Amino acid sequence: MRVLLTACATTALVVSGPLAANAADQAQQSPVGGAQLTTEPTVVAQGATPPAVHASAFLLADLDTGAVLAAKAPHAKLRPASTLKTLTALVLLPRLNKADQVLGTDQDAGIEGSKVGIYPGCRYTVDLLFQGMFLASGNDAVHALASHDQGGVPATIDRMNKLASQIGALDTHVTDPTGLDADGQYSSAYDLALFARAGLERDDFARYASTKYTSYPLVKKPGTYQVANQNHLLFNYTGALGVKTGYTTLARNTFIGAAQRDGHRVVVTMMNSPHGVTEDASGLLDWAFKNYAALTPVGTLIKPVTAETKTGDGPNTSKKSSTRIPLPKRSLAVLEHGQAVQSMAFRIPVWLYAAPPILLLPLFLRRPRALRTQARRLKARRH
């Protein structure tokens, strides 16, 4: 009987553990930004049907209100390519003095991928490096900027991951600040929209994102060469605010674009597109502006509440802030068949599963003593 009792109590304790874990998982099932914003490859929109695009994932949202107007697989974790540089900029812009002179290195010049033309031994202002980062998507400029900050590239990666978490970009993990394909590096169409929204609130970010041309110094002879912004939306779309493009072999085309018309600022993000990102972005933006009054939001871009901040005056200074991140609102959902019982089970305190066997323990402990007393009496009678 004692063995049976022990087995019952142990079973109750073991069962309660998975139930508690499953309850925690259940609480995390509601996607950030709304229940309709999932990883499913189904286009979600209310009020009008958006045009078809080539991208595996996209999101369209109002930058000012945060209302998501349409989406497809917005939380799918995909390779971001150079659109990740928007998060890099969010980390580095408040920390670096734009008048600083940065000496180009062999490591900057030897980096893989797209380059703006950083030459070892040549000096560049931080301001010009940011231009090279936004316009030419220069990985060499990113490496120079990150190396100039305190702690270098590893510290920049750490700050990027922390900032992504703080602003609610929970689909993002950074291992390379340039956005190059790397193991464990991913983001989502939803997170890219969060980065764009946070960035366009900064005057410097908005200025770099919308700059069409800049000039870089020639090294071996006097003069400069022109660098053009790779975001063709700036040249082809009325009201375009720019932002960032990206491409790698594995990520394929990725894109963040924004435009302003009729008093509305709208952002569009696309990931894993084989081609035609400028045309697809233009089509989605046209659709949003044309149907804006008839559209019902299908979700929202969450926005952290930030208190007053103090920014250091010199280089390599962190922007100190007191930030509180609101938890995403949990949507009401209809329980599937069989889930009602599970839901009730999750609400029962863990200790209650072990309580009944423990309360019955004294009853089972008394019975062996009574049996032993009765056996002694029978033995005495026989003698």
pLDDT digits (tens, 9 = 90+) for 70-97: 999 999 999 999 999 999 999 999 999 9
* Percentage above 70 pLDDT, the chain: 72
The reply to whether 217 and 303 lie within a common domain is yes
Q: Are 342 and 218 contained in the same domain? A: no
In this prediction, residues 120-146 reach a mean pLDDT of 98
Residue 290 annotated in active site: no
Please report whether residue 47 resides in a domain.
no
Residues 151 and 292 in one domain: yes
Q: Do 197 and 264 belong to one domain?
A: yes
Nearest in space to 255 (alpha carbons), one of 39, 61, 55, 37: 55
Query: 364 and 258: one domain?
Result: no
pLDDT value for 228: 97
Catalytic residue among 30, 82, 187, 282: 82
Q: What is the pLDDT of residue 361?
A: 53
CA separation, residue 71 to residues 12, 50, 170 (Å): 44, 9, 17
Read off the CATH number of the domain in which 122 is found.
3.40.710.10
Q: For the ranges 61-70, 139-148, 258-267, 320-329, which has the lowest average pLDDT?
A: 320-329
**Under 8 Å between Cβ of 13 and 353:** yes
* Overall number of domains in the chain: 2
Is residue 45 one of the residues assigned to a domain?
no
Q: Is 279 a member of any domain? A: yes
* Catalytic hit among 16, 85, 114, 187: 85
Is residue 208 one of the residues assigned to a domain? yes
| pLDDT per residue as tens digits for the range 157-208 | 999 999 999 999 999 999 999 999 999 999 999 999 999 999 999 999 999 9
The predicted pLDDT at position 323 comes to 31
Domain check: are 289 and 366 in the same one? no
- Amino acid (one-letter) located at 18: P
Q: What is the full DSSP assignment across 318-334? A: -EE--EEPPPPPPPP-P
Domain, as residue range, for 232: 53-324
Q: Are residues 13 and 132 in the same domain?
A: no
User: Percent of the chain, pLDDT > 90?
Assistant: 70
Note whether residue 331 is domain-resident.
no
145 and 288 part of one domain: yes
| pLDDT at 356 > cutoff 70 | no
Q: Is 372 among the domain residues? A: yes
Find all residues with CB under 8 Å of 358, minimum gap 6, and list them: 9
- What's the predicted TM-score (pTM) here? 0.75
Residue 137 designated active-site: yes
CA distance 103 to 126: 10
Any catalytic annotation for residue 82?
Answer: yes
What does the pLDDT average to over 30-38? Answer: 92
Q: Give me the pLDDT at residue 360, please.
A: 55
Q: Binning pLDDT at 50, 70 and 90, where does residue 352 land?
A: very low
218 and 303, same domain (yes or no): yes
- Let me know: does 78 contact 187? Beta carbons within 8 Å: yes
Residue 46 lies in a domain: no
Q: Is 108 exposed, middle or buried (0-12, 13-18, 19+ CB in 10 A)?
A: buried
- Rounded Cα distance between 142 and 178, Å, is 6
- Establish whether 77 is an annotated binding residue: no
Q: Do 209 and 229 have their domain in common?
A: yes
User: Does one domain contain both 275 and 378?
Assistant: no
Q: Yes or no: say if 119 and 134 are a contact pair by the CB < 8 Å rule.
A: no
Q: What is the pLDDT of residue 44?
A: 97
Same domain? 22 vs 142: no
